[in-house]
Structures are given as C-alpha cells and as structure tokens.
Chains A and B, each alone.
Chain A
Amino acid sequence: MSQTILQYHGVHAHYGAIHALRGVDLTVNQGEIVTLIGANGAGKSTLMMTLFGKPVASAGKIEYRGDDITRTPTHKISRQGLALVPEGRRIFARMTVLENLQMGGCFSDPQHHAADLQRIFGMFPILEQRLQQRAGTLSGGEQQMLAIGRALMSRPQLLLLDEPSLGLAPLYIKQVFRIIRELNERDGMTILLVEQNAHHALNVAHRGYVLQHGEIVLTGSGEELLASEEVRAAYLEGSSEAA
C-alpha cells in the first residue's frame, strides 16, 4: 500500500507497576484495515489508548502522519483526523441520538453537518428513526451504530475501533463488520480495529497483528493469520462457526 499514516516505534506503557506494552512496533498504511487481536489483558486497548496519551507511552514513539504525537494532549490528537469508537461504546446516554451525533462533529466544519448526517443515516437507517430518542434507550447494537456514527461525524482519516463487536448479537456483529468493510472500500477510510472476535476481524482486515502479554508475537495478512496454526489454536478454536 501507499503512505504510512500511523506508526508505533518500540512503544512501552505502564499502569503503575504493570508493564502493559513491551516495545510494540506497528504500522498502519493509508487505505488499510489493520486489526489487532489478542486475548483479554494482552494490551490491545492499552495500545490504542496510548495513541491518545491515556496512558502516555513510557518509552518509544508514536507517529501520526509523520508527526510525533506521543505526548500531545488527548483533545488535540483527536482533532487531527483521528476518531475513536471507544470500548463499551460510551455514548451520551441521557442526550438524544441527534445530540450525540452533533457532539461527534463539534470540531468539523458545520457546513458539512447536514451532508454527514445524511451519509450516516444511509449507513445506519435505524439512527434516523431514533433521532429524537434518548441514546440510553437504544439497544446495544444500535448504540454501537451510534458510537460509530458519532466518530464518523468528525470526518476522520483514521478510524479506530475498540472491540466494536463486544456484547452484540450475531446479527449486529455481522452488520458492524459489513460497515467496516464498506467504509474502507467505498470511502477509502483507514481503519485500525482492535478485536477479540479474531475470525471476523481477520476476515475483514488486510493485515493483522497478534498481541500477547504486551508484545506483538505474529503479524501478516488477514488470510495468512487466519490460516496460521498458532492463531487457529489460540483464538479461533470453536469460534469459526460464528460466521
């Protein structure tokens, strides 16, 4: 692929005494879907959150479009064309769906808002029907759609998804991954996807990384990883029928 958009150089991270990341190197190129899979507590979410300086990497360097953003304040990072769909969705429960979407677009040009809303309604028709409803009254799957929609309102160049399939019904999981593929193929959006659902994630991704105990233990294209013995044994046993 073409240009590198995001690069981790030997990133370490600590939570107090816990060494959560142990020298991670990772690259995301323009127009790619890259997935990061691993077991619970492997450091997947930490890896993604160090990008936002929560926690700040204790060693190493993170580059976004050539700029070192390792120590940039969180709110400034997200204004540079990165959008995060956080783990557990974290929508604004007592605000309406429309207000949630508006908050997503609070740093993009207001002129685009109407068009962006229409684009998101095209992807998630359910959101248009629920526009005036309190976001907390949506179902889990709908909330996930809202969280993705909210992130897209900022017109990101790099979309980060933290466990978007967590706690969703199989039907919604399928829809989430279909959307991910669609965003990438149609809009050429670069996506970094953190997932426990290795089967779906590797199916949709161009490249993948396997994280174990804070280290990248395996990397390759989606198909390669799907076929690899280690990945099958560790992450896909008994889950491949979910498709």
Chain B
Amino acid sequence: MSAYVPVHQGPGFAARIKDALAVAMLSLMLGIPMIGLHTVDSGGALSIATRWPWLALFVGIMFGGRLAMQFALDHFKLNKARRAQKRPAVRATRPWLKWLGYAVLGFSLVLPIAFSGNRYVVDTATTVLIYVMLGWGLNVVVGLAGLLDLGYVAFYAVGAYTYGLLSTHFGWGFWQTLPVAGALAATFGIILGWPTLRLRGDYLAIVTLGFGEIIRLILVNWTDFSGGPNGIGQIPRPTFFGLPFSPDTDTPTFATFFHIEYAAEHRVIFLYYVILALALLTNLFVSRLRKLPVGIAWEAVREDEVACKALGMNVTNIKLSAFAIGAMLGGFAGVFFAARQGFISPESFVFSESATILAIVVLGGMGSQLGVVVAAILLVLLPELGRDFSEYRMLLFGAAMILIMVWRPGGLIASREPTVKLNKGAQA
C-alpha cells in the first residue's frame, strides 16, 4: 500500500500554451468592444476612438495569467496527490487538535476579562458563540445524520418567537422559557422531518428550504400573532437569578446586590457567559450523544440507509431524532438571541442565515465540533474585519471562502474522530 505510485503530471507545455492562447483569443474578442474601443465626447457629438495598446496589454496579461494559474494549479494538485500517498491508512490522532480545543476554551473563558471595557469585542464574541451553537446544532442534522437542511433558521425563529411571545404576553422568564422553546422547536423538527423521511440530498434540501420560508412568511403575515414585519419589541433581558441588570435602585438589582457600581457592561458580559455556557452544554451533549448508539446510528444512516435497515435499525426514528435534537439546539439559540436583542422580527430569520449556518458546518468540516468553532469565528470575523473595505467586504469574504474550499475541500478539520478507540493493550 505504501509503494509510491507516480502521480499524473498533467498536460504538457504545448497543451498549456494552446490553452492560454485560447484564453487570449477569448479576451481579445471580449476586449475589442470593452477596452479596444471607447467613446469620446468631441464637441457635443460622440465619436469612437481606439486604444489598441491597452487591448494588447490586457490580452497579454490574460495570456500570462492563465499560464501562471495553470502551472500553479498543476503544482498544487501534484503536491496534494503526493501528500495523499504518503499519508498512512490509519491517521495518527492529532493531539494538537485537542490542545487547540482547550486553548480556544481557555481563551473564551477569560475573553470578557481580557477585553473588559471593550464592549465591541465582547458583543462580537457573543455573536460568534451564537453561531457556534447553531453550527453545533445543525452539525447533528447535516454533519452526523447527513440530512441536508437548508431551513435550519426556522427552528432558530421558533425559539426566538417562543421567548418573545411568552415573555411579553405572559411574563415568562428566560430560564423558564428555555426548555419549553427547546421542546417546541424539537416538535417542529419532527413536523419537518416526518414528510421528508424518504427524501435525500437535493430533494431534501429543497423541502427544508421551503419549510424555512414558510415559517418566516407566517411570521411576516400573521400580524395578530407575531406582530408581522414590526416584530416583537421590549423583550425582557435575562436576569441573574432574579436580579435584573438595571440602574434603578427601587428593587434589588445585580449591582446593588453585589454592592458594585452599576455598569452597562455587566449585562453584556453576563450574556456572553450565558451563551458560552449554553454552547458548552451543547457541545458536551452532542459529543456524548455521538458516542452512544443513537449517535453512531446517525452516522450509519448517513453512510448507508439500506444497510442500516438490514441491520435492524429503525431509520425513521433515527432520522427524526436527528431532526428533533438539531432543532431543539437551534431553538435554545433562538431564545438566547431574542433575550439578547430585546427585539426580534422576521428580518433576522431569512434564508441567508440558514446559508451562513450551513456554511459554518461545511467549512468547518462536516461532523467536526472544533471545525465549527473555527469556521464560526472566520465567518463572523471576516465581514467584521472587512468593514474598512466597505463595499468590497462581501467580495473579500466570498473570495476567502472559495480559497478555503480549494485548499481544504473537506472542510477546515476534515478528519473524523472514531467514536470507539481501542484500549492500547488489546492491539499491538
């Protein structure tokens, strides 16, 4: 297995020149009207002038650029194939990944202290954590069970509106609503899962996409219920065991209880730790599940449904449980989102949110917990860092995503951790 097999070298030099000439021809044809000719305003009338040197330069750049790009790609592919051949069949577990995980965890614990006073950093980190949690939730459905869900934001919305409505109408608190919203989102997950059990891949994606839109459209149009496009405002913020984060001193507040001076940051930091705790619980929950029969069954269903049935597994229940658990986690994140924003409207639950969450899962490496964290950080931070580039921001963002997928087609952390490991004594 380890014998070196010569790797295909790609087309020869002549073929590359030919290819580049074709590109040059194409750019010449496109370039004549776009660069070669231009209109000049000569005394009120338009006349056409030529600029052939520019055109020649353009065609030359295209020719050279194409050559360079093809050589770079060849080189890249060759190196990749060589590396793949050298890779042993059983991958050594990578301890640094574990340490990276601990480092990220440690950093996330001290982040509000390290950046205390910088509200922007803590706020952005909170957003990252919401996406991490959503990513971990969707990872159950897409990464583990292999069910492509394009409407995940629907469950996020169910969670958010559950809290929004229960708190404004019935005065429910954050912690009270959390389990109810989770259960409700899970129910919606089963409602979505049931009719789509026989669908896979593209077909499933379309139905889930539709489901996400249905929920959003209901929220937009059912004004009596959801406030329609105006959304729900003045949603109460979570309290610290009943102590609100507010400046007034008539009733005991967080600040008065601990005899510290009131500061607006307290709530921001508190919210950060709430989502951090929720996300960590999610992670613990999902990684435990993955090692249980139900989790391994999710992966088995992803790999081969027929084989699962032949082994006596109830594929229906396995898929529904994946939908329900993924949806429940999305619902939790939704409750937090509503509590943090204080205001929700259907605008927050559009398709592009689903796409972002899915991108986090795919970019991170399907099924990888740490990959989701890295991808969520990237996807939230890249547009933030790109703010200086104003309108080119999304262009840079898109280019970065494409580059990552070219560099690591399986996601940032593509290797799959086995659910069972051998005890060292049993195997030489």
A interface with B by C-beta (< 8 Å): 52, 54, 73-79, 83-84, 86, 90-96, 98-99, 102-104, 106-107, 130-134, 137, 150-151, 154
Contacts and interface: CB of A to CB of B under 8 A. Distances in A.
Given A102-B420, A133-B89, A154 B312 contact: yes
A52 B293 CA distance: 23
Interface string B198-211: 00000000000000
Contact of B309 (A78, A133, A137): A78
Interface in B286-324: 293, 296-297, 299-300, 302-304, 306-315
A62 B308 CA distance: 22
Q: Among A73, A78, A137, A154, find the residue whose CB has the most chain B CB atoms closer than 10 A.
A: A78
A93 B190 CA distance: 28
B90 A133 contact: yes
**B310, B313, B314 — which one has the most chain A CB atoms within 10 A of its CB?**
B310
B299 A132 contact: no
A103 B296 CA distance: 8
B309 A103 contact: no
A180 B420 CA distance: 29
A101 to B, nearest CB: 10
Contacts of A83: 310-311
Contacts of A84: 310
B427 interface: yes
Contacts of B304: 90-93
B422 interface: yes
A95 B310 contact: no
B411 to A, nearest CB: 13
B306 A75 contact: no
Given A52-B309, A94-B303, A95-B303, A132 B418 contact: yes
A95 B156 CA distance: 31
Nearest to B419: A99
A131 B303 contact: no
Given A98-B422, A106-B312, A134-B416, 8 more contacts: A79-B312, A86-B310, A90-B304, A92-B299, A99-B296, A103-B296, A106-B296, A151-B311
A174 to B, nearest CB: 22
A90 B296 contact: no
7 contacts: A75-B315, A78-B312, A83-B310, A92-B300, A93-B303, A98-B422, A132-B422
Contact of A106 (B297, B303, B420): B297
Nearest to A139: B1
Contacts of B313: 75, 103, 106
Contacts of A90: 304, 306-307, 310
Contacts of A132: 90, 418, 421-422, 427
Interface string B347-391: 000000000000000000000000000000000000000000000
A98 B419 CA distance: 10
Nearest to A104: B311
Given A75-B315, A92-B303, A95-B303, A102 B296 contact: yes
B304 to A, nearest CB: 5
Contacts of B302: 94
A103 B298 CA distance: 11
A78 B419 contact: no
A74 B309 contact: yes
